[in-house]
Amino acid sequence: MGRIIMDAFAAEFTGTSLMMAMGCGVVANVVLNKTKGHGGGWIVITTGWALGVFIGVVVAGPHSGAHLNPAVSIGLAAAGYFDWALIPKYASAQLLGAMFGSGIMWVMYKDHFDATPDPGLKSAPFATAPAIRNLPINLFSEIIGTSVLIIVILYATEPELGDGTPIGLGALGALPVAFLVWVIGLSMGGTTGYAINPARDLGPRIMHSLLPLSGKGKSDWPYAWVPIAGPVIGALIAAGIFLVLDAGDLV
């Protein structure tokens, strides 16, 4: 059989959908009532998210570089490694993929959503929320977590892959990037749930607001700007640090 060749939009959509189905799915498995994984805890959630990223990178990496995250696309563009003009294409695919993946999760766990009366637990598989609501600190957490993600990508990869595929998470390799996301979640995820990805939060939050979830409560739109602005700011800071340090190496 011949290898399926996807364009960048299809690759980002498919990779992000798979990542989100796994990531949102592990949260649903841990927090919703009557699941086999109920009460599994933070280690299970962070591991599931890391391996979800692994899956997305394996699929999208050869075709788009596997950004799977608008903050990755923005950070790479700010560092001069990606075309700014391609960001709308990548970001729209990532957002739609995040919506689709979280929708798959909802269908799969619908009975368990129905069996869970707590509105907070119903929203947890979709969007992030702060453990302690302190917006400046919540924003800082998302900035720092994303900065770590982007700076490692920039220092661990070359400007593009050998065949001209754009740089992205895939340039690290699927397993290293899974460990990177895992350690960010373990070390820095306890404050906000480490969105570190605007599409990862916004797409499922939109789905939470649209889907017929009984007793779901509000989608907390007043907080939604934090997991969007924080990762974008963090990506730009990481790119700036990289450019300054990289320029210093050339002196």
Tell which wins on pLDDT, 165 or 183. 183
The reported pLDDT for the residue numbered 170 is 75
Q: Is the pLDDT of residue 248 over 60?
A: no
Encoded tokens for 122: 């119903």
In this prediction, residues 166-184 reach a mean pLDDT of 86
- Two structure tokens written together for 152: 């490692």
User: Three-state DSSP class for 166?
Assistant: strand
Q: What is the mean pLDDT of the chain?
A: 92
Q: Residue 172's pLDDT is what? A: 75
Tell me the per-residue pLDDT of 22-39, one tens digit each, with 9 for 90 and over. Answer: 999 999 999 999 999 999
| Distance between CA atoms of residues 179 and 158, nearest Å | 19
Q: What is the pLDDT of residue 114?
A: 97
Q: 146 with 196: CB under 8 angstroms?
A: yes
- DSSP symbols for 68-93: -SHHHHHHHHHTTSS-GGGHHHHHHH
Question: Scanning the structure block, which residue is given the tokens 């739609």?
Answer: 96
Instruction: Report which of 55, 65, 63, 52 is spatially closest to residue 23, judged by C-alpha positions.
Output: 52
Distance CA 147, CA 217 (A): 32
Domains of the chain: 8-250 (1.20.1080.10)
Average pLDDT on 214-234 reads 97
Q: Can you say how many angstroms the Cα of residue 175 is from the centroid of all Cα atoms in its chain?
A: 16
Structure tokens at 54: 């692994």
- Per-residue model confidence (pLDDT) at position 156: 80
Q: What pLDDT is stored for residue 173 in this prediction?
A: 79
pTM, 2 dp = 0.94
- Strand ranges in the chain using DSSP code E only, listed in sequence order: none
Name the percent of the chain lying above pLDDT 70.
Answer: 92
- C-alpha span between 34 and 56 (Å, rounded): 28
Angle at alpha carbon of residue 151, lines to 14 and 15, rounded to 5°: 5
User: 194's torsion region: left (phi>0), alpha (psi -120 to 50) or beta?
Assistant: left
